[in-house]
Structure 1
């Protein structure tokens, strides 16, 4: 039986850099610290939101959830675990990236053992959780984040062609400006492309602590005319950038499963990305884009140049990327898998 009441526990909600949570839940309107959500058609999330931690337990006792689901293995999981014990219901958590590789809780294995199941978003994550924390593979469920492939889709061809002057092909990177995202590598690749006379424009969409450093590098490399840092963007703005893009790029040193590349693929945009974390599970090298070694600016520039200079290759890879994401990484597929897991856990409790 599909549970009718599930409470979500998150740390910060809703974040522009974590749209996978908002997409998983539905339409969201305002930020909060902890969220509960009843799976009822047409239910509004704003009226199912709890801000004050002192109200979590009494509100949940009134709500009577059948399951708690936390996102990230850190504070949200600790909170969900404590609440679930008091409510007498199971809890699960989804582990993404930083809570696995960068700042995992010291008692990750204990939290995993207490949970009814651990969800994670890539096969690479599964392997790491098993080898590093000793969590049995059978206790882990692989459910990649999904993208709304009806919303994120290629532009209408007639509208895309337009009537204005042609602009240079766009390289678009949608990512937080943080050290592990390593946009410095992208700037170095752009400097190589510019030196070779390749026509392009590169747009970095996102914000973060590396912004000043990247602006200095942009000036030092003489990229002011071809590289733009446009700041954080809402999903509607991100969609508009993907529809202008010729190539998506991600140069991270570490990843779980990057939703930004799913969005690009859904819009028919091929990608060039470093082969880290779950990225090789998303990009089929030489079919939907190109994979390069982490930290290799020459390889990155070469892969970008191949696409920037070959519109037919962009079209072929882009169509293949769209097919792949619709088949394997749609939001519908994610929700179906999640509901199946919830159903199995609730049925197990009822037995």
Structure 2
């Protein structure tokens, strides 16, 4: 087996509480023997960290988040770029991209790539981008500048909000790309002639962190005002999570049905959602807990009766892939209710191991919520089946083995 090369992994931001699946993959690759350096385009904004972040040994290098904040560093990158073998090629590519994306963002990605190419941490021999939008732009420009090969992991928003021309161009030049849902995989394959360069790779779950829950979820059925059914939702307060739809569904539940809900997650729409909840008369029943560490989220999965996430396609095309929180909740035998958007049906089959309703339909969501709240035996059956599916099909070690094989196949070609 050829020696494993130093990989520079380009990330939009690190660490991020909402991107546990990326941190988990990074740790898995380290444990598999890969030598990583993390290149972050933004500094962290979350005040908390997950335990997995503390286990990752890779050094983190932060690029200038905004070029005007570190002008000397950017100018050094530009002047050093003149002598790079791919400077002419990268400028040709940049000026081809610019008319289709006239934005400060496009200049920022070029500047970040120039800085990366000049500083070139830890003698990197391979580039890998997480997300096929802006991180892949920086990665591709740096690849052109230095002649270093690159690969990419695409996820959800980056696929569905990027223009087709941008993805097509990147798939033409990347050695390969992986994505985490069949919907994303099929879409990306339509954008390239290199069908064998696109791979489906579910993130999966580190089942050592989400061990089997041997306890029992409650038999609450919404009949006791002193002990209401406990609904849980975990996700950022952004449009694609559909929290306004979930609130309107909750408002449609029968008045005599007793429930409460905890929401875990940050997000810019929290004030708006709290206002909607108050207008609907739900404020006293909902506890907005903000972002929590992974161990606290796990505790909530185990105490809750039902998990709800009303995924939708946002106005700009943004959508979830397969929300990791659904996999996590399922691993704890917690019955899950969600919508038929993107990769959700790849995990949950309606009536078999979860409840799945159409997106943008508060009435259908309310009907499913009521059914699940009133029937603890149904919740138990769905939760048990969901855990079985996760533990048989969504173990993240499978994804790590697949990524390892893809990297090693490329390096064998080069040896």
Length-normalised TM-score, structure 1: 0.86
Moved over 6 A (4+): 158-161
Aligned residue number for residue 21 of structure 1: 22
Contact 1:50–1:56 (8 Å) recurs in 2: no
Distance 1:137 1:169, change over 3 A: farther
- Residue 247, structure 1, aligned to residue 254, structure 2: no
Contact 2:185–2:200 (8 Å) recurs in 1: yes
Identify the range of structure 1 (55-64 vs 87-96) with the bigger mean alpha-carbon deviation.
Answer: 55-64
Aligned residue number for residue 326 of structure 1: 391
Q: How does 1:28-177 map to 2 (within 5 A)?
A: 33=40, 45=56, 48-52=59-63, 56-57=116-117, 60=120, 62-65=122-125, 67-104=126-163, 106-131=165-190, 133-134=191-192, 136-157=194-215, 167-177=227-237
1:297, distance to aligned residue in structure 2 (A): 1.0
Aligned residue number for residue 281 of structure 2: 222
Q: Distance in 2 between matches of 1:256 and 1:206?
A: 18
Contact 1:145–1:257 (8 Å) recurs in 2: no
1:136, distance to aligned residue in structure 2 (A): 4.1
> What runs of 5+ residues in structure 2 fail to find an aligned partner?
31-37, 43-53, 65-72, 74-114, 220-224, 313-318
Contact 2:9–2:39 (8 Å) recurs in 1: no
Tell me the matched-pair count.
335
1:327, distance to aligned residue in structure 2 (A): 1.5
Aligned residue number for residue 91 of structure 2: none
Query: What is the alpha-carbon root mean square deviation over aligned residues?
Result: 2.8
Aligned residue number for residue 241 of structure 2: 181
Aligned residue number for residue 406 of structure 2: 341
Q: Distance in 2 between matches of 1:332 and 1:175?
A: 24
Length-normalised TM-score, structure 2: 0.74
Contact 2:133–2:159 (8 Å) recurs in 1: no
Distance 1:243 1:70, change over 3 A: same
Q: Distance in 1 between matches of 2:377 and 2:216?
A: 18
> What runs of 5+ residues in structure 1 fail to find an aligned partner?
36-42
Contact 1:270–1:318 (8 Å) recurs in 2: yes
1:212, distance to aligned residue in structure 2 (A): 1.5
Which structure would you say has the larger Rg? 2
Distance 1:292 1:159, change over 3 A: closer
Distance 1:47 1:18, change over 3 A: closer
Q: Distance in 2 between matches of 1:51 and 1:99?
A: 21
Aligned residue number for residue 237 of structure 1: 296
1:22, distance to aligned residue in structure 2 (A): 1.0
Q: Distance in 1 between matches of 2:239 and 2:216?
A: 40
Q: Secondary structure at the match of 1:232?
A: coil
Aligned residue number for residue 207 of structure 1: 266
Distance 1:158 1:318, change over 3 A: closer
Q: Distance in 2 between matches of 1:160 and 1:289?
A: 17
